[in-house]
């Protein structure tokens, strides 16, 4: 599934997360800004100071002007960089952007509006304000479609994987009932534990839609400390092995019981249906091992940090965001950041002003060495 931009993708993401469907969106880039400014200059012969512009990040505009050697600056620019931060709950106000452009035009400060938001463009047109929606180039569209096609093929391959569910301290009758409910098969593993074999696409859809949460929780309640491990793999043996590893983690979880999942890339997620965390158990990269030794940080935590960077798409982040992701104190997050700064793995990217009253927060971004571990 491909979206026309970051805005529709962001608002559809919550629903998409409930289904094992690959999705992508057309990226906003400097090429869109350059083509749009060229069109405005050619068709309307306007100065940049006569145009109001909204776009996700001002750096796209600054980059185009700098590379083109244009000294003239754009006076009226409105950004919405938070749109890329999927950890932040914030609504995009169409009216706010329409008002921004309309007020400037009505006050005769501008003669034209360039917007990156189609709903804003529609309203500006209704008001009779000269405006234009950012130009999307054919090469960018083709690249986006190729990416979506590749993602769909990969997703289809993943959905056909074997899924194994392993149970410990669970009554056989409960396991059979679970297998019957998803039309799956029960077998015994080499270790003597009961396994339910199914298809990843089927099981993942049920998990994402919370269809199994009540069933598993009821099973854990009935059987006491029941541990459940789910494994994905390209073969039955691989899926079984991963389910047993996941069950070991579930077994070590304090409390009455838990459910963990390990996929074909050895990424562990759990406890499912609770405060889920996801991190990699695969630490074969010698550079990761070397860095963890230099930082005096476990390979697991370093892998989790690298996954955090991937989640935020290597954008600048604050210690507050890192603390939330790791479920640790702000002070602990700052200590982790200091270690990475001392090794020049991170660099200071600037500051952000909190929406509430308070001091500005420092922002950090990955250095080239960390980006190389993607």
Segment 70-91 shows an average pLDDT of: 85
Same domain, 188 and 290: no
CA distances from 325 to 87, 181, 225, 312 (A): 9, 35, 28, 11
Asked if pLDDT for residue 297 goes beyond 90, the answer is no
Per-residue confidence at 283, pLDDT binned at 50, 70, 90?
Answer: low
How much is the pLDDT for 212?
Answer: 81
Segment 267-273 shows an average pLDDT of: 85
Same domain, 265 and 313: no
How much is the pLDDT for 130?
Answer: 97
- What count of Cα atoms within 13 Å lies in the side-chain half-sphere of residue 280? 17
CATH for 171? 3.30.70
More confident residue, 78 or 11: 78
Lowest mean pLDDT among 91-95, 113-117, 126-130, 274-278: 274-278
Please check whether residue 142 lies inside any domain of the structure: no
Please check whether residue 337 lies inside any domain of the structure: yes
More confident residue, 298 or 47: 47
Same domain, 109 and 171: no
Same domain, 265 and 291: no
Asked if pLDDT for residue 319 goes beyond 80, the answer is yes
Same domain, 40 and 61: yes
Segment 6-28 shows an average pLDDT of: 77
Please check whether residue 151 lies inside any domain of the structure: no
Identify the domain containing residue 85 by its residue range: 27-135
E strand residue ranges, 224-284? 226-233, 257-262, 267-270, 277-280
Same domain, 40 and 58: yes
How much is the pLDDT for 96?
Answer: 97
Please check whether residue 222 lies inside any domain of the structure: yes
170-205 confidence digits (pLDDT tens): 888 888 888 888 888 888 776 678 889 998 888 888
How much is the pLDDT for 178?
Answer: 86
More confident residue, 241 or 275: 241
In the chain, what percentage of residues exceed pLDDT 90? Answer: 27
Q: Which of 43-57, 269-283, 322-336 has the highest mean pLDDT?
A: 43-57
CATH for 290? 1.10.10.10
Segment 5-21 shows an average pLDDT of: 77
Segment 325-333 shows an average pLDDT of: 80
Same domain, 125 and 166: no
Asked if pLDDT for residue 4 goes beyond 70, the answer is yes
Please check whether residue 6 lies inside any domain of the structure: no
102-153 confidence digits (pLDDT tens): 999 999 999 999 999 999 999 999 999 999 999 988 888 887 787 777 666 6
E strand residue ranges, 80-214? 112-115, 131-133, 162-168, 185-188, 194-199
Segment 51-63 shows an average pLDDT of: 93
CA distance 333 to 283: 22
Instruction: Tell me the pLDDT of the chain averaged across its residues.
Output: 83
How much is the pLDDT for 89?
Answer: 75
Same domain, 197 and 252: yes
Q: Which residues are bridge partners to 270 per DSSP?
A: 277
Segment 43-55 shows an average pLDDT of: 95
> In this structure, are residues 265 and 282 in contact, taking their beta carbons and an 8 Å threshold?
yes
Lowest mean pLDDT among 31-45, 77-91, 319-333, 354-368: 354-368
**Domain count along the chain:** 3
Segment 4-28 shows an average pLDDT of: 78
Same domain, 270 and 316: no
> In this structure, are residues 231 and 245 in contact, taking their beta carbons and an 8 Å threshold?
yes
Per-residue confidence at 322, pLDDT binned at 50, 70, 90?
Answer: confident
Q: Which of 258, 278, 298 is the last residue of a domain?
A: 278
How much is the pLDDT for 94?
Answer: 96
CA distance 74 to 62: 9
CATH for 46? 3.40.50
Same domain, 112 and 172: no
Same domain, 223 and 294: no
More confident residue, 348 or 22: 348
Please check whether residue 93 lies inside any domain of the structure: yes
What does DSSP say about strands 346-352 and 226-233: parallel, antiparallel, or unpaired? unpaired
Asked if pLDDT for residue 266 goes beyond 80, the answer is yes
Q: Which of 212, 247, 278 is the last residue of a domain?
A: 278
Please check whether residue 253 lies inside any domain of the structure: yes
How much is the pLDDT for 144?
Answer: 79
Segment 221-242 shows an average pLDDT of: 82
More confident residue, 180 or 279: 180
Please check whether residue 127 lies inside any domain of the structure: yes
Segment 273-288 shows an average pLDDT of: 69
Quote helix, strand, coil % in the chain, to nearest 5: 50, 20, 30
Same domain, 40 and 121: yes
């Amino acid at each position: 599934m491909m979206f026309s931009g970051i805005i529709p993708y962001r608002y559809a993401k919550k629903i998409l997360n409930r289904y094992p469907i690959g999705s992508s969106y057309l990226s906003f880039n400097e090429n869109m800004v350059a083509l749009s400014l060229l069109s405005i200059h050619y068709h309307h012969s306007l100065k940049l100071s006569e145009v109001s512009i909204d776009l996700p990040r001002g750096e796209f505009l600054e980059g185009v002007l700098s590379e083109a050697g244009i000294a003239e600056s754009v006076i009226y620019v409105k950004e919405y960089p938070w749109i890329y931060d999927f950890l932040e709950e914030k609504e995009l106000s169409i009216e706010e952007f329409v008002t921004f452009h309309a007020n400037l035009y009505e006050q005769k400060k501008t003669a034209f509006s360039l917007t990156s938001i189609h709903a804003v463009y529609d309203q500006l047109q209704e008001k009779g304000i000269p405006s234009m929606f950012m130009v999307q180039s054919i090469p960018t569209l083709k690249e986006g479609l190729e990416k979506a096609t590749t993602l769909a093929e990969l997703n289809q391959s993943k959905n056909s994987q074997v899924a194994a569910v392993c149970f410990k301290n669970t009554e056989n009758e409960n396991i059979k009932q679970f297998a019957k409910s998803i039309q799956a098969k029960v077998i015994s593993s080499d270790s003597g534990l009961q396994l339910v074999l199914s298809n990843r696409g089927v099981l993942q859809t049920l998990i994402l839609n919370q269809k199994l949460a009540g069933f598993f929780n009821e099973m854990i309640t009935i059987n006491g400390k029941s541990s459940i491990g789910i494994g994905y793999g390209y073969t039955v043996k691989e899926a079984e092995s991963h389910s047993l590893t996941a069950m070991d983690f579930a077994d070590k979880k304090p409390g009455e019981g838990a459910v963990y999942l390990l996929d074909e890339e050895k990424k562990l997620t759990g406890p499912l249906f609770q405060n889920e965390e996801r991190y990699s158990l695969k630490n074969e990269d010698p550079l990761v091992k070397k860095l963890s030794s230099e930082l005096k940080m476990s390979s697991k935590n370093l892998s989790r940090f690298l996954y955090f960077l991937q989640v935020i798409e290597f954008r600048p982040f604050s210690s507050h965001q890192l603390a939330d992701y790791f479920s640790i104190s702000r002070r602990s997050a700052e200590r982790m950041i200091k270690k990475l700064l001392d090794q020049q793995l991170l660099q200071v990217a600037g500051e952000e002003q909190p929406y509430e009253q308070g001091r500005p927060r420092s922002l950090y971004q990955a250095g080239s060495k960390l980006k190389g571990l993607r």
